[in-house]
Amino acid sequence: MLELVFFRFIYAKICFTFTVEMHLYNIFKMRFFIRQIVRLGFISRYFANKALFSNSHDFEYRLLKNIDSISELTNLINAAYRENAEKGLNFLGASQDEKTTLKRIRKGICIVVVEKLSGRIVGTITFKAPHRSKGSPWFNKPYVAKRNLLAVDPEFQKRGIASHLIRLTEIIAKKHGATEIAFDTAESHQILLNFYKKNHYRFIENVKWGSTNYLSVIYSKRLV
């Protein structure tokens, strides 16, 4: 009888210990999962939403929504990059289709600018959290965030939209823990590069992407 009570006590203790260990293990797994969510950028979307401030009465800066038209976004990007194509530079943005647009923006956080009066999308930019990538040693560094697909409707250029979009990606990058934010463009795009130099971006390296007919430059800004 005593042996039975003893074995039941030992069994209960083992079950209790196992339950506690499983609970701790599940907590550990949950913490790991949360860290993975952070790495994947879902929490960055929350921070991005908080960062979308602007004193503009004419434009709304926000994240792309499921109800937004990918066709409209693609037409905007095509129009914004058309001038580069006319100069003989085969920027992907000048000719990309809706499928390509969707593929590219899904790799990051897509911000759009909507004219309040018409509801049109007149600007966009895509932020990418630090991650491993091919083709550029600098892009591959764990503390370097990236951005691409900066586009403003030609009709709405020179109104500060691009500058504000750039600033938003810098804010999001800092919230995400990045200490640098970088981009690439054609080496011959001197007007754009001069603009970035005035805003504390510096040359990092040259890259030749296989899909382009021009030499690219990587520029980066240290976030403080």
Q: Are residues 137 and 163 in the same domain?
A: yes
Residue with more model confidence, 10 or 211: 211
Q: Are residues 122 and 95 in the same domain?
A: yes
Q: What is the mean pLDDT of the chain?
A: 82
Decide if pLDDT at 68 tops 70.
yes
The count of domains in the chain is 2
Q: Is residue 79 a contact partner of residue 64, using CB atoms and an 8 Å limit?
A: no
Q: Are residues 4 and 84 in the same domain?
A: no
Q: Are residues 87 and 12 in the same domain?
A: no
The CA–CA distances, whole Å, from 22 to 18, 28, 29 equal: 6, 10, 10
Q: Are residues 8 and 65 in the same domain?
A: no
Long-range contacts of 204-211 (CB under 8 A, 24+ apart): 204/138, 205/136, 205/137, 205/138, 207/135, 207/136, 209/135, 209/184, 211/90, 211/92
Q: Find the DSSP H helices in 52-140.
A: 70-86, 98-105
Q: Are residues 12 and 67 in the same domain?
A: no
- Tokens encoding 32: 């790991």
Report the CATH number at residue 186: 3.40.630.30
| pLDDT one-digit tens code per residue, 123-148 | 999 999 998 777 789 999 999 999 99
In this structure, how many other beta carbons lie within 10 angstroms of the beta carbon of residue 132?
A: 8
| pLDDT one-digit tens code per residue, 158-210 | 999 999 999 999 999 999 999 999 999 999 988 889 989 998 999 999 999 88
Per the structure, the complete domain to which residue 147 belongs is given by 41-222
Q: Is residue 223 a contact partner of residue 181, using CB atoms and an 8 Å limit?
A: yes
Least confident piece of the model among 14-23, 53-62, 101-110: 14-23
Q: Are residues 135 and 217 in the same domain?
A: yes
- Mean pLDDT over 44-71 rounds to 75
Q: Are residues 118 and 103 in the same domain?
A: yes
Least confident piece of the model among 34-48, 50-64, 78-92: 34-48
Question: For the whole model, what pTM was predicted?
Answer: 0.77
Q: Are residues 11 and 109 in the same domain?
A: no
- Tokens encoding 178: 């990045």
Phi, psi for 185 (deg, rounded to 5): -155, 175
Q: Are residues 11 and 62 in the same domain?
A: no
- Strand order of the sheet with strand 144-152? 59-63, 109-115, 121-128, 144-152, 180-186, 216-222, 202-207
Q: Are residues 22 and 133 in the same domain?
A: no
